[in-house]
Amino acid sequence: MLPKSRLLTSAVSLFAIGALTGCTLIGDTSQPESNTVTLVTHDSWAAPQQVLDEFERESGITIKVNKSGDAGELTNKLVLTKDNPIGDIAYGVDSTFASRALDEEVFATYRSPHANSGPQRYDLDEQHRLTAVDVGDVCVNIDTEFFAEAGLPEPENYRDLANPRYRDQLVVPDAATSSPGLAFLLGTIAEFGGGWAEYWGELKANGVQVVSGWEEAYGQEFSGSAEQGSRPIVVSYASSPAAEVSPDGSAPTRALPETCYRQVEYAGVLAGTPNTPAARTVLDFLLSEPFQRSVAESMYVYPARADVDLPESWAEVAPLPDKSSSLPAEQVQRNREQWVAQWRELVQE
């Protein structure tokens, strides 16, 4: 049976071909040089290559990006590794998790020269360990076509969502497993204070649907997105309508400004980094005009700087909400676990 040796030969040669054509990562690990800065960030990170290249050319610093889960996972990883940080700078810790990172002294003090052109509005601590880079408010979105066709007035605020007129129309992501889900829960707590649990009871009676993540809520259940689900009201972002704009410039969906909860994403130089000067330069870059101008279209968030314009279509269909609610970071930190546990009990009955 000759084929056996042929099999061995072909297996070996296949692997050799694979290795030669670069079918392996070995040898790919370029040693980090002194002018490489590791940016630890969340999974939603995206930036135009052109902007990154430009920065590299001007500063001589190469940014190595490490994606580390959502805002919560990112924060916890930073806390666990604060003595031996996995990078030099972190971006993406949001207002919900910021106080944990500050308490654990993950970040070092640094005030960027750009910090006063807008980011200061979202400052959290006097030591300037975290600087706001962008704002991504969580708002209820509605499918305007649905309401036009059904001859129903569009809902506007939290109270409307509990109105029997909008029965079985709202879908929300789980507050325990999804960051917009948690933001919406915090929004209802900011709105109703101690009466939030009662309000959720009303939502429940009105047929609210809870799904595990934003992907299911917006991508699958919501009638205004690509999959054309069955529910015309969804918890998403203030910016979501900008992604649904049709070629003629109109948007089939709308965010309700009265239901927005402010989420700010921060960046900071990691306390344990040996590379502080370069990390500071990268933080300056995150606040620079070219980067700030790119965040809207790359990551669907609003620039923290006040002097950077939104893309044209955004100004019309997805302006930055001006009366978003928010809760103090320490209050969120102190109560998050208990609120979420109580919320879970409420919705799963």
Q: Which of residues 201-260 bind another protein (CB under 8 A)?
A: 210-216, 218-220, 225-227, 236-237, 239-240, 243-244
Q: Does 73 bind another protein (CB under 8 A)?
A: yes
Q: Does 77 bind another protein (CB under 8 A)?
A: yes
Residue 192: CB minimum distance to another protein, A: 20
Q: Does 95 bind another protein (CB under 8 A)?
A: no
Q: Which of residues 113-172 bind another protein (CB under 8 A)?
A: none
Select 179 or 325, whichever has its Cβ closest to another protein.
179
CA neighbor of 139 nearest in space, from 262, 287, 253: 262
Using the contact rule CB under 8 A, the part of the chain among 61-69, 150-158, 262-270, 309-317 near another protein is 61-69
Question: Each residue of 35-66: b (16+ CB within 10 Å) or e?
Answer: eebbbbbbebbebeeebbeebeeebebbbeee
Q: Does 348 bind another protein (CB under 8 A)?
A: yes
Q: Is-contact 134 306, C-beta < 8 A?
A: no
Q: Does 80 bind another protein (CB under 8 A)?
A: yes
Q: Does 271 bind another protein (CB under 8 A)?
A: no
Question: Which residue in 37, 40, 135, 161 binds another protein (CB under 8 A)?
Answer: 40
Residue 344: CB minimum distance to another protein, A: 5
Residue 120: CB minimum distance to another protein, A: 28
Question: Which residue in 56, 297, 316, 330 binds another protein (CB under 8 A)?
Answer: 297
Q: Does 337 bind another protein (CB under 8 A)?
A: yes
Question: Which residue in 36, 62, 86, 313 binds another protein (CB under 8 A)?
Answer: 86
Select 48 or 207, whichever has its Cβ closest to another protein.
48
